[in-house]
A = this chain, B = another copy of it.
Amino acid sequence: MAQDKSSESKTRRPRAETPKGFRDYFGAEVTERKAMLDKVAEVYHRYGFDPLETSAVETVEALGKFLPDVDRPNEGVFAWQDEDADWLALRYDLTAPLARVAAQYRNDLPSPYRRYAMGPVWRNEKPGPGRFRQFYQCDADTVGAPSVAADAEICAMLSDALETVGIPRGDYVVRVNNRKVLNGVMEVAGVLDPSDPTRFEAERGIVLRAIDKIDRLGEGGVRALLGEGRRDESGDFTKGAGLGAEQAEVVMAFMAARRDTGAATVAALRGLVGASVIGGEGVAELETIAELLDRQGYGSDRIVIDPGVVRGLGYYTGPVFEAELTFEILDEKGRKRQFGSVSGGGRYDDLVKRFTGQSVPATGVSIGVDRLLAALRAKGRAGGEGAGPVVVTVMDRDRMADYMGMVADLRNAGLRAEVYLGNPKNFGNQLKYADKRGSPVAVIQGGNEAEKGVVILKDLILGAKIAENATLEEWKDRPAQVEVPRSELVAAVRKMLGQ
């Protein structure tokens, strides 16, 4: 298209669009998320956790991406250079800011420091369907508590939080594993040398990734990856970890070590890690966690020891946990599948060390807010639209004060109400507006009604029902339209709302 550039630049209008990968949230989307997070916060508060709201903007170096040699250190984060040459960036999670806070305020914060944080994070990644570049996280962490009692507490709190927001017991399970046990297994399998932790790093990486693929590849596929390697359907070859059959057997046995009770699982794991010191530590930690939770009444219907939890094991240093929703939903192709993970966490060292040089133990959990909200919607447990306002229509532009007096009366009685503020000429538009607003009742007062001192109330919910298929009884019992004295407006609306 040939265009006159100069006139184009004068009249050019900005596009009314969010940047790619960003979105807006309207009405019930905001309300539902807020209601869910409020309930989670209530549980966290009862556990003694305090809210922390950090700045959305951090220095890039605090985020741990400080690379002085590159021109623009923003792989994965949104970053820009400040006027005094500092690189700033939007936080990409809530853990890095916690580390910075724990270091910055280490002399003022209670120790251990329990905090929760809820808010948006930003990822500079390729957006995709349902994959946004700004999304909410909801984290709880304990900094400065070395004991696995802190991990057990997080697991119990996660379980309570899920039930409080509306996931019934039986529809979820918190699965607990321990990175140290896996290290012990690696040792027994001969791919970890405690005297030289850097040896076999590549092999361990392959083993971790193989374990993580069990659901997709099955036992045979994982065995191939633990051994020489695997050629997939497209013919591509993935190099394996090169483990012998006996070595691979240790790893396979680890993945299958879950038993009916925590005690039995712990016993099986103890057998697997053999003489490995780190493995023995990990098993003892799992045993303690299981005992602490059991004594608080968190049985295997809520929290289980499960060696199958591997996701993100590389990042953690001790116990790891994951909350999985076990009910089935239909995916976009109409196939049944389990809802899956909505939360994960674990113990991680070196949180604060990067800033202060001193090691500070920490453990915590992160809830995927959008996924949990989707789960509540799937279960019909989210708040839904909520009640629309009573709409007072405008029959006579000159009597706006009367109409506003009506909404004032309704609001003062605690009812949600608004007067129609568009062009009142076309009455049909006013009812269409009320419909769009999800309004339960329309209030109408024309000149005749005003003279008689009455108002007409239109029951829009019943009206819609009648239009569809309400029975005569329903109609008689609760007429879709009534005339009441103006002085009885509030009482009559209340009655129509069934309050």
Q: Which residues of A contact B (CB under 8 A)?
A: 9, 13-20, 22-27, 29-31, 34, 45-48, 50-59, 61-62, 64, 66, 68, 74, 78-80, 82, 84, 86, 88, 90, 97, 100-101, 103-104, 110-112, 114, 120, 122, 133-134, 142, 144-147, 149-150, 152-153, 156, 160, 291-292, 295-297, 354-357, 389, 391, 400-402, 404-405, 408, 411, 414-419, 421-423, 433, 436-437
Q: Which residues of B contact A110 (CB under 8 A)?
A: 433, 436-437
Partner of A104, one of B13, B17, B156: B17
Q: Which residues of B contact A401 (CB under 8 A)?
A: 291-292, 295-296
Q: How far is the CB of A434 from chain B (nearest CB, A)?
A: 9
Q: How far is the CB of A418 from chain B (nearest CB, A)?
A: 3
Determine the residue in chain B with the shortest Cβ distance to A435. Answer: B110
Interface of A, secondary structure class, is mixed
Q: How many copies does the complex hold?
A: 2
Whether the Cβ atoms of B19 and A354 lie closer than 8 Å is no
Determine the residue in chain B with the shortest Cβ distance to A415. Answer: B46
Whether the Cβ atoms of A22 and B55 lie closer than 8 Å is yes
Q: How far is the CB of A127 from chain B (nearest CB, A)?
A: 11
Instruction: Please name 23 pairs of A and B residues whose Cβ atoms are closer than 8 Å in the assembled complex, sorted by A.
Output: A13-B354, A13-B355, A13-B356, A14-B59, A15-B61, A18-B55, A18-B58, A19-B55, A24-B54, A25-B53, A27-B51, A34-B51, A46-B417, A47-B411, A56-B120, A110-B433, A144-B422, A146-B423, A150-B421, A153-B404, A295-B405, A296-B404, A296-B408
CB within 8 Å for A145 and B25 given contacts A13-B355, A16-B355, A411-B46: no
Bound complex: CA of A217 vs CA of B400, how far in Å?
42
Whether the Cβ atoms of B16 and A48 lie closer than 8 Å is no
